Amino acid sequence: MCLRFINLGSRGVTSCFLFLALVSAPRMLQAQSADTFGFGSRSTALGGAVAADVSDSSAPYYNPAGMVRDGGIHVGLGYSRAYPMLRINGSDSNVDVVSGLDIGLTVPGEFDGFRFAFGLAAHLPDGRISRSRSLPRRQPRWEFYDNRPHRTFIATVVAIRPLDWLLVGGGLGFLAQSETTLEIQGTIDFLSEAQTRLESQLIASLPSVRFPVAGLMILPHEDVSIGLTFRDELQLGNDLDADVQATIDAFGIDVPAALLLETFAVNVFVPRQLSLGVSYTPFEALRISAEVTWLNWSAYRSAIGDSDVELNIQPPPELEGAIVVPESIEPTRELAANFKDRFVPRIGIEYIPVSNTDLSVAVRAGYYFESTPVPDQRFLSNLVDTDHHTVTVGAGLSLLNLRPTLPGKLSIDAHFQWTHLPERDTVKNSLVDTTGDYRAGGNVIAAGASIEIAFE
Amino acid sequence: MSVTIKECSLACWFALMLACGSAGTEPGTPEALPHAGTGEFRPLTEEETGVAGSDGRVLFSPGAMDTLFVHSRHLFFGGGLLRTDAMDPPSEPIRSWVDWTAFQSRKIFRAVPFGQQAFRDAVPVLSAEQSWEGESVSDPCIVETSSGQIWLYYVGGVDSAGQGGVGVAVAQSIEGDFLRTTDTPILGRIGGVLPRRPSVVQFAGEFLMYVSVGDAIHLARSPDGMTFTPMGPISLGEDLFNLDGAETGVTEPGALTVTTGTGRKVVRLYFVSLRDDGTRAISIAASLDGVNFERFQRPVTAQTFARSPSPVAVDDRVTLLYTVGTRISRRRELGAAQGLVTPGDTDLSGE
């Protein structure tokens, strides 16, 4: 039995490594920055239409099966930055800039003629590791740009190539949700701040949520490839419990009081999705890819969470009538999101005008359309979204003859992305809705660059 | 060549590391969230009124005041000055609203802007002169026409003398002199009841006048703003708010027309809901046609004795609501102009 990394000649790795990798490595941390703005400059410049046409360091994200397509280790590092310019009723929504590092790694190998690869992809936001915030349901928020892109994304997957024309990859992803418990105990003295004593304890945990991913690539002809990818759904909850036990000193009379608050909201929902893509190379310098993705947004329950409040105040006899304690506090119940599934068509074109033994130059363009899954917000909720038209362009320079400095090629890619969100009117059913009607739309521009080393 | 490639690679990596080295920032907050002007209003603060001291929330209190209307930062109100021969004030404050017997006949006054949101220097701009007006005029309402004229609708005969009704006077500017256009009321008594507190808006190519008639609000329509046809009482929708007792009537309309963020034209009608426990709850209803209203099922303010709501749309999200509140002066309960604003996160202190 031998283990050999393709074209690398490494021989010091034992079979244990393979075993451990196959058992424990297939984990993917699915983030929405990549879903929204793409991952890696080449794939982003092609409009993300790469399920059938990816073998670089972005393969672990787009289609892990692509990791065993070309062979060779790919190490990529990129940086992207997106500027949402979104407005509601003409006012800037001040949606946060999304930026961070994209890191990709694919390591193919061969085990007794059996070809496989490990992959790693990560998006590390440079502003914050993660962001969660719950907003009042009446407050309009850009559903796809609020919390969603602000997530750290790490993916490790494996792929195998059982047949020359069949490539299969997959993994299991996880992401952390938030569970927080706040406990406060003590005495509140209305007349003396110094006599007020409150002790608090905050317990926060981030249990993981797991979901599977899989990819398939079929190569029926040297000029044609077909890709199929699947990602299961993911719901990240935001669970907050508060337990307040206090004695209120009301002018010398102790009034025991207790407040119990329990809230739960789905902070981020990633729908189950299935992509089918095809890539065609009519001649060597041109490659055209098309893809359609189904996203199961109809499974989204609600962005508006449940909350239960229990207030227990026991006024002493001398304060009967002076303190009115409500018998119950109306709980908040989640509102059905009623999202609808959507199909996202994508197209990407790559043209290589210059190609010789030393270098190659590629220019790329792409387009995709995302119809909004968000229904008209005619009632209490205010999840803002419109259709998305995204145009991408990019270019890449590959230096092919770098020996002896580098036994492989060095690629530098850049992309620019423009997403137009045509204005959408939200007309409330109720004329006395406190939020009222609004018109939302705008643009998002993003740009990035990446550098990748592909070892021979 | 190899050195160049190394340098190039190192430079790229270094640049990428620098690019992602920026520090995180606080989550952005929207410049302005949409708001419909419904929901709860909060009182203006001292910083917003520009009036310091215990009367910090009083925008103007010249004496007796029964109704008010604000237009272009000018306050119009119906009020009277204390009579020189007024009887001594009672030993206990009069809690039954203004004791008009102690004041001169009501006139319509105009006060100019003062400070942030307050007013000062009230001068009378219209007094009872015609026989149908009796001895008093009150209940001002201003409409600015497309030509810039200021039309002042008012009620004559509020002291029960004279025929009474709604009249109109015109000025060429907000600080101009008002001249009557007719010597008869443009809207007389309805069912023998004097209409009070007219609120006139231009909507869908016509003038709509909402008036209090007894404990109901009636609508009158006009193509030109000068001749109105009574259309009868309007329904403001079912009242489901009963924490303060059942509703016994609605009165004192204050209308406002707005264009929503999607271009819908809406009439918003603020009004006083009279409760069976004697309190008054200022409420709001809205309509797409000015006739059929949908009601907001909570009072817009916790104040239970405010009167004469007069709304002003500051912009497409901020609404000011002026009311007549109470103020005790020399043991007499007087009216005082007060201001409320929504949404609550609005800060008018810098204006």
Identify the residue with better confidence: A447 or B58: A447
CB B253 within 8 A of CB B270: yes
Residue A40 has pLDDT above 90, yes or no: yes
Measured between beta carbons, the chain A residues lying within 8 angstroms of B19 are 79, 81, 99, 126
Dump pLDDT digits (tens) for B219-228.
999 999 999 9
Amino acid identity at A308: D
In B, minimum Cα distance to A429 occurs at: B294
Q: Which of A170-184, B74-88, B95-109 has the highest mean pLDDT?
A: B74-88
Residues of A in contact with B263 (CB under 8 A): 425
Asked if B294's CB is within 8 angstroms of A432's CB, the reply is: yes
Q: Report how far residue B262's alpha carbon sits from residue A222's, in angstroms, rounded to the nearest whole number.
A: 53
Greater confidence (B301 vs A362) lies with A362
Cα nearest neighbour of A147 on chain B:
B27
Q: Chain A closest CA to B11's CA: distance in Å?
A: 11
Question: Is B31 within 8 Å of A449 when comparing Cβ atoms?
Answer: no
A272-296 pLDDT, tens per residue? 999 999 999 999 999 999 999 999 9
Chain A: residue whose CA lies nearest to B3: A405
**Are the C-beta atoms of A152 and A29 separated by less than 8 Å?**
yes
Give the residue on A whose Cα is nearest the Cα of B260. Answer: A437
3-class secondary-structure state, position A318 = helix
Q: How far is B24 from chain A (nearest CA, A)?
A: 3
CB distance from B344 to chain A under 8 Å? no
More confident residue, A351 or A300: A351
Q: How far is A274 from chain B (nearest CA, A)?
A: 32
The pLDDT of A165-184, averaged and rounded, is: 77
Q: What is the mean pLDDT of residues B277-296?
A: 93
pLDDT tens per residue, range A45-72: 999 999 999 999 999 999 999 999 988 8
pLDDT at residue A9 tops 50: no
Instruction: Check if the beta carbon of residue A215 is closer than 8 Å to that of residue A229.
Output: yes
Q: What is the pLDDT of residues A12-28, one digit of tens each?
A: 333 333 333 333 333 33
Residue recorded with tokens 């239960």:
A308
Query: For the segment A135-161, what is each residue's pLDDT rounded down to a tens digit?
Result: 666 788 888 887 777 777 777 899 999
Between A171-180, A240-249, A444-453, B35-44, the lowest mean confidence (pLDDT) is in A171-180
Query: Are the beta carbons of B319 and B301 closer than 8 angstroms?
Result: no
pLDDT at A417 over 70: yes
Q: Where is average pLDDT lowest: A195-204, A255-264, B106-115?
A: A195-204
Indicate yes or no: CB of B287 within 8 angstroms of CB of A79: no
CA distance B145 to B167: 17
Question: What pLDDT was estimated at residue A27?
Answer: 34
C-beta separation of A98 from A79 below 8 A: no
Query: How does residue A346 score in pLDDT terms, banded at 50, 70 and 90?
Result: very high
Query: Which pLDDT score, from 0 to 100, does residue B83 have?
Result: 64
Query: Hey, which residues 262-281 in chain B have their CB within 8 Å of chain A?
Result: 262-264, 266
**Model confidence at B125: pLDDT above 70:** yes
Contact flag A126-B22 (C-beta cutoff 8 Å): yes
Q: B165-190 pLDDT, tens per residue?
A: 999 999 999 999 999 999 999 999 99
Global ipTM: 0.85
CA–CA dist A116, A13 (Å, integer)? 15
Q: Per the CB < 8 Å rule, is B9 touching A139?
A: no
The rounded distance, in Å, linking the Cα atoms of A414 and A396 is 6
Between A129 and A233, the higher pLDDT residue: A233
Question: Which site among B3, B6, B8, B9 would you substitute to test the A interface, given the most A Cβ atoms closer than 10 Å to its Cβ?
Answer: B9
> What is the model's pLDDT at position A8?
35
Q: Which residues of A touch B38 (CB under 8 A)?
A: 432-434, 436
Mapped onto helix, strand or coil, the DSSP state of residue A23 is helix
Per-residue pLDDT for B4 more than 80?
A: no
Q: Do A437 and B31 touch (CB under 8 A)?
A: no
Residue B243: its pLDDT value, please?
Answer: 62
Within an 8 Å CB–CB cutoff, is residue A136 touching chain B?
no
Ranking A207-216, A311-320, B234-243, B254-263 by mean pLDDT, the lowest is: A311-320
B21 CB within 8 Å of a chain A CB: yes
Query: Helix or strand or coil: residue B103?
Result: strand
pLDDT of residue A10: 38
Selected residue of A87, A432, A438, A450 to mutate for chain B interface (largest B Cβ count, 10 A): A432
- The per-residue pLDDT of chain A, averaged, comes to 83
Q: Is the preceding omega at residue B93 within 30 degrees of 0, hence cis?
A: no
* A254-258, A388-392, B45-49, B112-116, range with greatest mean pLDDT: A388-392
DSSP string for A81-129: EEEEEEEETTEE--PPPEEEEEEEEEEEEEETTEEEEEEEEEEEESS-S
Q: CB under 8 Å to A171, separation ≥6 — which residues?
A: A25, A26, A27, A28, A64, A155, A156, A157, A158, A212, A213, A214
- CA A246 – CA A187 distance, rounded (Å): 5
Give the sheet arrangement for strand B265-275, strand by strand: B247-259, B265-275, B280-287, B293-295
**Which residues in chain B have their CB less than 8 angstroms from residue A101's CB?**
16, 20
A102–B contact, CB cutoff 8 A: no
- In this complex, do A431 and B266 lie within 8 Å of one another by their Cβ atoms? yes
> In this structure, what is the dihedral angle of CA atoms B247, B252, B255, B261, given to the nearest 10 degrees?
-40
Distance CA B162, CA B44 (A): 39
Q: Is A101 part of the contact surface with chain B (CB cutoff 8 Å)? A: yes
Tell me which DSSP letter residue B176 carries. S
